[in-house]
Structure 1
């Protein structure tokens, strides 16, 4: 049975069932809105990505964490994403 949570030094993560990859990639973008619709494929990433519900341990803030294999994908997502 796969782990339902992943705890890092910074976050407690809950993987999205939509993830095709089971990795936390180097380039991270924290979305501080836990209810925002986050759809990484709509930002045309060239590399792999993963999405997690996230609890930031330092301040207890809940949100979502999107991780990207490529730095350019993370930058594109961060510049285009607007929470509704």
Structure 2
């Protein structure tokens, strides 16, 4: 099945097939680790979140974009995430 891309002002996004919803939430974190394994349920977040493979438009850097509905979830993710 073909994956739909999402274009935003700053990114070209490819949704993860594991997303419950492909929503780009207000709180965003770009991770310059395109091959890192990120399993969002492991972070025990309070609100909805989504994960995308991402190409940053400013420099064509590939990585992943994690978006969060709640700022506290972003802070928790940043505190707990360590790249492979």
TM-score w.r.t. length of structure 1: 0.94
Write the mapping of 1:1-84 to structure 2, written as runs, cut at 5 A. 4-84=4-84
CA RMSD of aligned residues (A): 1.5
**Secondary structure of 1:73's aligned partner:** helix
Compared with structure 1, are the counterparts of its residues 14 and 75 closer, same or farther at alpha carbon in structure 2 (3 Å cutoff)? same
Unpaired segments of 5 or more residues in structure 2?
A: none
**Secondary structure of 1:19's aligned partner:** coil
On the 8 A contact 2:3/2:15 being kept in 1, the answer is no
Aligned length: 84
Deviations along 1:9-36, one digit per CA (max 9) or x if unpaired, are 1000000010001211001111101000
Unpaired segments of 5 or more residues in structure 1?
A: none
Q: 1:8, 1:32 → 2: CA distance?
A: 18
Deviations along 1:29-80, one digit per CA (max 9) or x if unpaired, are 1110100011111111100010000000001100000101100001110111
